[in-house]
Structure 1
Amino acid sequence: MKTEQILELIEAVSDSALTEFKYEEGGVKLSLKKATDFSETSAVPVSQSKPVLAGISEISKAEAVVSPGKEEETRAVEGNIVKSPLIGTFYTAPSEDAPAFVNIGDDVKEGQVLAIVEAMKLMNEIESDFAGTITDILVENGDAVEYGQPLFVIK
């Protein structure tokens, strides 16, 4: 199945009243779910090729912008910054009733899910690219995030 066909299917399901769609042909399996309510939706892992992932989730030792309330404050941060790979809504847990994926002070492993960013009704898992300890969570649950916005500081 070609990428264009997959994109057409995604668009058709998005525009329809369907909440779930499954397709299988040969060795290709495609499953789409619409998120109608955050508490009903499960996370969908983001699968990307390594070169794209390396370019998207830049991790750097730099300055992070933190927003406490309405005022913006810039401060130097020690550690690695995990940035949002896409625009969407940031969630710390898989559902409203579930515990957060990680908290400040938690040790994380490479590949561990840190949070979810909902984009176009799809839940995209944000995974850690390295091991360390969460020293700061720079975004509140339910906040809108931009591409490249710092989310976590990990030492």
Structure 2
Amino acid sequence: MEYEKMIELLREVNDSNLIEFELEDRDFRLKMKKESKSNENVVKAIENTSLENPADEQKAPKKETERPKEHVIASPMVGIFHAYEGETETPYVQVGDQVEKGQIIGAVEAMKLINPLEADISGKITEILVDDGMLVEYDQPMFVMEV
């Protein structure tokens, strides 16, 4: 299947009410399953994310006193999200936790390597947009923090 057709198919399935989709061809097999309602939150978060124009930043410099009320932490890579530390049932963070810059808040497994996900700013976790074991894409919103 051509890349463009596959992307179009993925978008169509994502926009539909389907919970599970499977397509098998002689060359490949594609199976998709929506995990939970949190996927809807991720799609909404992606749709509501505006792309900033670097030219706008040059025109209107930000004031140092202005701080965003919410901060989104996105996945640094494609992989499987892990919300728990090792084999324990202790989550790295929960909604309501206060975290410091550099604190590990989760992990993304890629190519059998566990990559720690660190908070890039101090704040309070207000929303976790992904579930443990969920496939995450590069730059996919994962956590919302109040700063």
TM-score under structure 2 length normalisation: 0.55
Kindly indicate whether the alpha-carbon contact (under 8 Å) linking 2:95 and 2:128 is maintained by their aligned counterparts in 1: yes
**Which residue of 2 is the match for residue 34 of structure 1?**
none
2:100 counterpart (77, 88, 109): 109
**Which residue of 2 is the match for residue 133 of structure 1?**
124
Deviation (angstroms), 1:74? 1.6
**Which residue of 2 is the match for residue 150 of structure 1?**
141
1:121 counterpart (112, 119, 124): 112
2:84 counterpart (90, 93, 96): 93
Q: Which segments of 5 or more consecutive residues in structure 2 lack a partner in the other structure?
A: 1-35, 50-68
SS at match of 2:94: coil
Q: Which segments of 5 or more consecutive residues in structure 1 lack a partner in the other structure?
A: 1-66
Could you tell me how far apart the structure 1 residues matched to 2:133 and 2:40 are? Answer: 18
Deviation (angstroms), 1:70? 6.5
Q: Is 1:74 aligned to residue 18 of structure 2?
A: no
Could you tell me how far apart the structure 1 residues matched to 2:132 and 2:39 are? Answer: 16
Deviation digits for residues 62-88 of structure 1, max 9, x if unmatched?
xxxxx6166565256961000000000
Deviation (angstroms), 1:93? 1.2
2:75 aligned partner, one-letter code? S
- Tell me the number of residue pairs that the alignment of Structure 1 and Structure 2 aligns: 89
4+ aligned runs moved over 6 Å, structure 1: none
Deviation digits for residues 7-55 of structure 1, max 9, x if unmatched?
xxxxxxxxxxxxxxxxxxxxxxxxxxxxxxxxxxxxxxxxxxxxxxxxx
SS at match of 1:116: strand
1:102 aligned partner, one-letter code? V
Identity of aligned residues (%): 40
RMSD: 2.1
TM-score under structure 1 length normalisation: 0.52
Kindly indicate whether the alpha-carbon contact (under 8 Å) linking 2:129 and 2:143 is maintained by their aligned counterparts in 1: yes
Which of 1 and 2 has greater Rg?
2
Assess, with a 3 A threshold, how the Cα gap between structure 1 residues 117 and 131 changes in structure 2: closer, same or farther. Answer: same
